[in-house]
Structures are given as C-alpha cells and as structure tokens.
C-alpha cells in the first residue's frame, strides 16, 4: 500500500521551545472547504518551493485523534468526550489536547490539571493508542493529492513541515499515499523548536537550497502564520482547519484561499 520511497526525515533531535528571540512573532490572535470546489485554470506558479502543514491543511485528522484521546481516557477510568469537541483542541500539541480532554471529561479546570499526576499518566498512555489509530480515520482534503501531483509536474519542490512526531507523520503520509510526492518532511522532532519558531521552515529552505523569497508556506492556523512570518516566507492559509475555533483571517496570512485547488491559480 505504501511507497518504498521516503523523503528525508529526522526523528532524533527533540527540544523544548526556547521562547522569544529577536524577530519573534507572538500568537495573540472557519468556513468548511467546499468538496465541489473545482480545479482552477493552470497558470505560471510564482514559487519554487511550497511547504505544507499537515493536520488541518492537507488532511482532516480530528476523528482518529478523538479515538486515541478516548482510548486514553478509558485507560484512566475517565468518561469519553464528544468527537465534535476535539477539533477545537488541536493545534497546540498533544499535551494541550490531553489537558483539554481531561478537563472536559472530569470537570476539572485545565490549570489544575497541568503538571498533575493524572496528566502525566495520560501522556504515557496516549502515544501507543495514537500509533494504533494513526491513519485509520483521517482523510485528505479535496484535491490534496491532485494539487501536489500538478505542482510537482511543474517542477515545484514540495515539503511538509509539521509539529507532529516523525513516526506518526510518516504513517499518515504513507496511509494516504503522499510520501512519494514530497521532497522533504520536517516533523516536530526533526528540529529543536516546533512552530511557531521558524526552525522547521528554515531547515527546509536550507536542505532544499531555496531562498525564502521563492518559498510559500500553506497552513491552517495562527501558529502556521507566525512560523512563516518568523522564517521570512510568504504564507497562505486555508479555512476549516484547526485554529482553535477562530477565523483564519484573524491571523493575517498573506492570502486566504478557499481550498487547496486555489494554489494552482497562482
């Protein structure tokens, strides 16, 4: 089912966010994509490299994250949470997802759960459950694979830059047959700092030898927009992803596109 070709991916160098630095952009501040959205007329593409976020940009992953979260809650003897609630908790990492799920399940305040013994047990349980669920109920957004294929046919370099750990990233990309379409994958444990730090994007630019002025980042959240700004690259955003329930326009990307097919309009 999966391609034997893997783009470069490193999973061994994790690190904590070291906080603001010169030029750091803070994060102070969703229309569903239309499945019937048609592919636009082909035009000359203005970038040599397009980097994509994964969850909420190329694919919808809330369903299987919800499954893994409820597996974890069951393992702790806690009540399950509604899948419809989980999408609003995605985007700030697994730790925050677990805190929000525990808070919803137990009725405790998130602040009281952070650093608690219950939260630590949840973290220990979650990864094996998610590894089992990863790729089982996620789905590509409309035209995702076709857009990657067409951009690649035009000679555009393609990459994924995500905060998700490498082992889960690879499983998702393999499950949806995207691996062979990518030149590089930068996961959350590839670089020292995750988005909104610029490290992942900067690593991608360096590895593929593309100038920041010739690169575009496509994401779905304020974290993605901030990361692109911090790295000095253009950023377009899609609505309907995981932006903590806020309209993506509030993050002020360079452009909001209504679906991935709009990338082909240039």
Domains in the chain, please, with CATH?
49-60+139-265 (3.40.50.1000), 62-133 (1.10.150)
pLDDT at residue 38 greater than cutoff 90: no
Higher pLDDT, 230 or 21: 230
pLDDT band at 221 (very low <50, low <70, confident <90, very high): very high
Burial 23-36 (b: 16+ CB within 10 A, else e): eebeeeebeebeee
CA distance 83 to 110: 19
Q: Considering 17, 34, 48, 53, which one is annotated as catalytic?
A: 53
Q: What is the pLDDT of residue 93?
A: 81
Query: Closest by alpha carbon to 214, among 227, 239, 231?
Result: 231
- Whether 53 is a known active-site residue: answer yes
Q: Could you report the per-residue pLDDT of 103-140, keeping only the tens digit for each?
A: 999 999 999 999 999 999 999 999 999 999 999 999 99
Beta-strand relationship, 184-186 and 157-161: parallel
Q: Give the ranges where 87-188 is alpha helix by DSSP (H).
A: 94-106, 110-113, 117-133, 144-153, 166-175
Q: What is the pLDDT of residue 13?
A: 35
Q: Which two tokens stand for residue 125?
A: 């349980």
Portion of the chain with pLDDT greater than 90, in percent = 79
d(CA 106, CA 77): 10
Per-residue pLDDT, 45: 87
The pLDDT of residue 226 is above 90: yes
Least confident of 5-9, 28-32, 76-80, 230-234: 28-32
Q: Please check whether residue 257 is in contact with residue 241, taking contact to mean a CB–CB distance below 8 angstroms.
A: no
Total residue count of the chain as it appears in this document: 266
The rounded percent of the chain whose pLDDT value lies above 70 is: 83
């Amino acid at each position: 089912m999966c391609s034997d070709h893997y783009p470069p991916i490193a999973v061994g160098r994790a690190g904590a966010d070291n906080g603001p630095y010169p030029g750091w952009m803070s994060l102070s501040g969703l229309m569903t994509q239309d499945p019937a959205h048609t592919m636009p007329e082909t035009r000359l593409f203005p970038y040599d490299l397009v980097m994509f976020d994964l969850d909420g940009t190329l694919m919808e992953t809330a369903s299987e994250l919800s499954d893994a979260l409820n597996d974890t809650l069951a393992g702790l003897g806690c009540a399950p949470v509604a899948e419809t609630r989980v999408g609003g908790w995605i985007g700030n990492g697994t730790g925050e997802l677990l805190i929000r799920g525990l808070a919803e399940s137990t009725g405790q305040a998130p602040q009281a759960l952070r650093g608690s013994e219950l939260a630590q047990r949840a973290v220990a349980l979650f990864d094996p459950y998610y590894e089992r669920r990863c790729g089982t109920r996620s789905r590509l957004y409309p035209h995702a694979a076709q857009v990657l294929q067409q951009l690649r046919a035009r000679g555009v370099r393609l990459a994924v830059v995500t905060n998700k750990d490498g082992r889960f990233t690879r499983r998702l990309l393999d499950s949806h047959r995207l691996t062979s379409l990518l030149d590089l994958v930068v996961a959350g444990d590839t670089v020292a700092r995750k988005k909104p730090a610029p490290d992942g994007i900067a690593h991608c630019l360096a590895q593929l030898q593309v100038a920041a002025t010739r690169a575009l980042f496509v994401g779905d959240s304020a974290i993605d927009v901030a990361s692109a700004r911090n790295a000095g690259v253009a950023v377009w955003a899609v609505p309907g992803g995981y932006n903590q329930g806020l309209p993506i326009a509030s993050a002020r990307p360079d452009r909001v596109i209504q679906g991935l097919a709009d990338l082909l309009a240039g």
